[in-house]
Amino acid sequence: MRISSRCSFWVMLFFAAYSLQAQSDFYRFRSDFSIKEKETGKDQGRLITGTIFFDKNRHKTVYDIRFPEPEQWFVRDTFMYRIKSDTLLSQQMVPPVGEFSIFNLILSQQLNDFGLAKVGYTPGDIQQGGGQVISRWLPPEKLNPYLGPVDLALENKRLTAAAFYDKDQKLISKFYFQDYTVHNSLPVPGKIYQIFYREAGEFVRIMTLNNVIINQVDEDSTYDFELPPGG
Amino acid sequence: MLIASITSASIPAKNLSHIFRDDLSKIDSEMALITALEQAVLKSKVTQSQLLREGDPMAQYALEGGDISGSLFGGTAPQEGALLGIPGFLWGFCCSVVGVFLVYIAIDDPIVKKKEGRQAIFGCAAGTLLWVALYAYLVLWASFY
Nearest alpha carbon to residue A81 among A71, A72, A91: A91
Give pLDDT, residue B6.
32
Higher pLDDT, B48 or A23: B48
Distance to chain A for B48, nearest Cα, Å = 5
- pLDDT of A113 > 50? The answer is yes
CB pairs under 8 A between A and B: 206
Rounded Cα distance, A19 and A229, in Å: 38
- Whether the Cβ atoms of residue B76 and residue B82 lie closer than 8 Å to each other: yes
Q: Which of B1, B14, B19 to mutate to test the interface with A (most CBs of A within 10 A)?
A: B19
Distance to chain B for A218, nearest Cα, Å = 24
pLDDT of B88-143, one tens digit each? 888 888 888 878 877 776 666 556 677 778 888 888 888 888 888 888 888 888 88
pLDDT of A114-147, one tens digit each? 989 988 899 999 998 878 999 999 998 888 888 8
- Give me the architecture of the A5-216 domain, per CATH: Clam (2.50)
Average pLDDT, chain A: 85
Check CB contact under 8 Å for B33 and A45: yes
| Cα A32 to Cα A13, A105, B117, distances in angstroms | 38, 17, 35
Work out the end-to-end distance of chain A between its first and last CA atoms, rounded to an integer number of angstroms: 55
Lowest mean pLDDT among A12-26, A201-215, B3-17, B100-114: B3-17
Give pLDDT, residue A17.
45
User: Which residues face A177 on adjacent strands?
Assistant: A192
Element (H, E) at B106: helix B88-106
Lowest mean pLDDT among A102-106, A184-188, B99-103: B99-103
Average pLDDT on A17-25 reads: 51
- pLDDT of A10 > 70? The answer is no
Domain ranges of chain B: 27-70, 82-145
What's the predicted TM-score (pTM) here?
0.73
Share above pLDDT 70 across residues of chain A, in percent, rounded to a whole number: 87
Give pLDDT, residue B116.
79
Rounded Cα distance, A1 and A213, in Å: 49
- pLDDT of B61 > 60? The answer is yes
Check CB contact under 8 Å for B145 and A2: yes
What residues of chain A lie within 8 A of the CB of B33, using their CB?
43, 45
Share above pLDDT 70 across residues of chain B, in percent, rounded to a whole number: 74
Work out the end-to-end distance of chain B between its first and last CA atoms, rounded to an integer number of angstroms: 20
Whether A193 contacts chain B with CB within 8 A: yes
Rounded Cα distance, B1 and A169, in Å: 26
Average pLDDT on A105-112 reads: 92
- pLDDT of B73 > 80? The answer is no
Lowest mean pLDDT among A214-228, B45-59, B107-121: B107-121
Lowest mean pLDDT among A108-112, A223-227, B22-26: A223-227
> How would you class A110 by CB atoms within 10 Å of its CB: exposed for 0-12, middle for 13-18, buried for 19 or more?
middle
Average pLDDT, chain B: 76
Residue burial A69-84, b: 16+ Cβ < 10 Å; e: rest: eebbbbbbbbebbbbe
- Whether the Cβ atoms of residue B109 and residue B78 lie closer than 8 Å to each other: no
Give pLDDT, residue A127.
92
Nearest residue on chain B to A7, alpha-carbon basis:
B145
Give pLDDT, residue A99.
73
| Residues in chain A, total | 231
Average pLDDT on A51-77 reads: 92
Give pLDDT, residue A18.
44
